[in-house]
Amino acid sequence: MRQVMNPQFKLGEIPIADIKIDLKSRDDIPPLLLGLQYIYTNLELRSQVFSILEEVLSPDVDRNNGRPGMEQWKIFVLGVVRLNLNCDYDHVQELANNHKTLRQMLGHATFADEYQYNLQTLKDNVSLLTPDILDRINKLVVNAGHKLVKKRRRNAERSL
């Protein structure tokens, strides 16, 4: 059965909410990671996103037999990176295997975690995120963003 994310932390693994993301960086990756961090730490939004993913990631597979497959969170993170950076699978593989903060977001420990993503594994799993699925998730995220902005406006008006 595919898990959202392995609930058992490894030695040196940082909880997603505690990952330090460089806010001064002008690269494309830090804003993506901040968005992913928000999705993961917002329990309601995370639940909605992963209920969509659960529907589409191997819906016909017997969940009690066979290998567990790549975790939903990893598929989602790598799919978001691929889509937003408009990069090919070779670039996604390079980032997944060598970008420290992205590896932390994928749930890898900061040291002694030698796991390397194979190109075919990435293709097989990330390609499951079709444009339709990503559009459904995008609508959830945009709505959550609108709620967040409204909440901040109300709080700002109260403090005046």
Provide mean pLDDT across the span 145-156. 86
pLDDT tens for residues 91-118?
Answer: 999 999 999 999 999 999 877 788 999 9
Q: What is the pTM of this model?
A: 0.85
Please write down the long-range contacts of 64-67, taking CB distance under 8 Å and 24 or more positions apart. Answer: 64/1
Residue 108 — φ and ψ, nearest 5°?
-95, 145
For residue 137, the tally of other CB atoms under 10 A from its CB is: 21
pLDDT value at residue 130? 86
pLDDT tens for residues 33-79?
Answer: 999 999 999 999 999 999 998 887 665 655 565 556 789 999 999 99
What does the alpha-carbon distance between residue 143 and residue 51 come to, in Å, rounded to a whole number? 16
Phi-psi region of 69 (alpha: psi -120 to 50; beta: other; left: phi over 0): left
